[in-house]
A and B are shown apart, each in its own frame.
Chain A
Amino acid sequence: MTVPDTMEGAYILSVIDFFLSFVIIWGMSLVLYLFPYLNKLGYLDDRKLRGGH
C-alpha cells in the first residue's frame, strides 16, 4: 500500500516519516547505550592491531 499522490498524502507521509524517524533513531540510541557492556568481553590493544600485518 502506498501513500496517495495528494495533498493529504503529503501530510500523511510527513507525519509518519517524521514520527518513525524519531522512533528508529531512539531505537539506535538504545542499542548504543548497551555498547559499554561490550568492554566486558575483553580489551583490544591498538598497538597490537596495528602491528598485526
Chain B
Amino acid sequence: MFEQIVSFVVSLAEQTGLAQLWWGNIFMIIVGAVLVYLALYRKYEPFLLLGIGFSCIVANVPGSDLTQPGGLFYYAYKGVELVIIPPLIFLGVGAMTDFGPMIANPSLMILGAAAHLGIFIALIGAKALGFTLAEAGAIGIIGGADGPMAIFVTMKLAPHLLPQIAVAAYSYMALMPLIQPPIMKLLTSPAERQIVMVQGRSVSRLEKICFPFVMAILVNLLLPPVAPLITMLMLGNMLREVLLVDRLASTAANDLMNVITITLTVAVGSTMEADKFLNIKTLQIIILGLIAFIGGTASGVIGAKIMNWVSGGKVNPLIGSAGIASVPIAARVSHVVGLEENPYNFLIMHAMGPNLAGVFGTAISGGIMLALIGVK
C-alpha cells in the first residue's frame, strides 16, 4: 500500500510544472520580472511592459498550457498571427492622434525618412549573418519602431520569426527612454539642445478633415502593400477630426484600443517561451534590433542637424530622433532630453511632426521592401 501511495505521489509530481521546469524557464521568468520592474519602478511604458512581462512569466511556468489551443494566450496570439490586431491598433492610433503638428510644418516630415537608416543597417547585418533576404527585411523593419507595422511586414516576409521580431520591436519601443538619450546627447552639443523652435501655424478643421482622405488615397495609390494599415490609421483619424461621430472616435481611441493593447501585450509576451525563444537566432535578432534602433536614432539626429545647419539654426536636432516613429514615445524622449538642458524649452509639439512622419516613413520602407522582395 505504501508503495502505491508513493507511486501516486510521484505520478502527481510528474504532472506538475515543476517536473518540466528547466533553467531556460527560470531565465525567461527573470526576463519577464525585469520588464515588470522597468514598468513599475522606472515607469517605462507600463501599458506595454506590464502585459508583456506578466505573460512572459506565466508562459514560462510549465504545465499551464495557456499558449496551447484552449488557452487564452493562444487565441490572443492568433489575432497577431492572422494580422487582425495590427490594423485595429492603427485604427485606434488614428483616432488618438492629432496630425496637426505634421500638417503645420511639412518640412520636418523628411526626418521621418532620415531616421530609418537603422532599418537598412539591420537588414544588411542580418543578411551578412546568413538570414534570407526576406528574413533580413523583417528583422530590419524592427528599426521602424512601429510595432503593428513590424508585425504586418514580418507576417508577409518571415512569419516564423514573428515572436522574436514582435518582442524585440515592442521591448525596444518601451525601452526608448533608455536607448535614445545617450545617442542624442553624444551627437549634439548643449547649445544645439537648447535651441528654441518657432511655434508652427494653427491648422484649420477643414485641413484636418481633408488630411486622412488625401493620405489614404496617396498611400493606396503609391504603396498598396501597406495600405491595409495606413487606411485604418486614416479611418480612425477621420472619425476623430470630423467631430460628428465622437462616440465612434472615442470607442476606437479608448475602449477598443485598451482591449487591443491587452490582447497584443499578452500575445507578444506569451511568445517568449524559453524552448522557442532561447536560441542563437533570437540573440542575433535582439542585437540587430538594438542596432536598428541606435542607427535610426543617430541618423534622425544627424538629419535634424543638417536641417538645423541649412535653416540657419532654427531646428533643434533633438527632434530628429523622433522621426523613428513609435508615437508618441520617441517625441516624449526628445521633449524630456530637451527639458534637461533648458526647462523652458517645450519640444513635444515640434517633435510630434517628425514622429508622425515616422509612421509614414516606416510604412513607406515596409511597402517598398514588400514590393521589391516580391510579396503581395
Contact = CB atoms under 8 A, between A and B. Distances in A.
Contacts of B210: 35, 38
Nearest to B357: A25
A9 B103 contact: no
Given A10-B127, A17-B120, A35-B103, A25 B360 contact: yes
A7 B120 CA distance: 12
A23 B361 CA distance: 11
B365 interface: yes
Interface string B225-248: 000000000000000001111100
Interface string A17-28: 110111011101
Contact of A29 (B106, B136, B206): B106
Interface in B116-142: 116-117, 119-120, 123-124, 127-128, 132-134, 136-137
B244 A13 contact: no
Contacts of B110: 22, 25-26, 29
Nearest to A48: B243
B275 interface: no
Contact of B218 (A28, A33, A36, A46): A28
B373 A24 contact: no
Interface string B185-222: 00000000000000001011111011100110010001
Contacts of A31: 214, 218
Interface residues on A, range: 35 or more
B244 A25 contact: no
B123 A13 contact: yes
Contacts of A18: 113, 116-117, 120, 365
Contacts of A24: 113, 222-223, 364
Given A14-B120, A21-B368, A44 B109 contact: no
B206 A49 contact: no
Contacts of A3: 133, 372-374
B109 A50 contact: no
A2 B112 CA distance: 26
Contacts of A38: 204, 206-207, 210
Interface in B321-376: 357, 360-361, 364-365, 368-369, 372-374
Contact of B133 (A10, A29, A33, A35): A10
A30 B286 CA distance: 37
A17 B369 contact: yes
A21 B204 contact: no
A35 B132 CA distance: 43
Contacts of B218: 28, 31
A22 B364 CA distance: 9
A22 B209 CA distance: 25
A6 B373 CA distance: 12
A3 B301 CA distance: 30
A24 to B, nearest CB: 5
B113 A25 contact: yes
Contact of B372 (A7, A11, A17, A43): A17
Contact of B107 (A29, A36, A39): A29
Given A16-B372, A21-B368, A53 B244 contact: yes
Contacts of A35: 103, 203, 207, 210-211
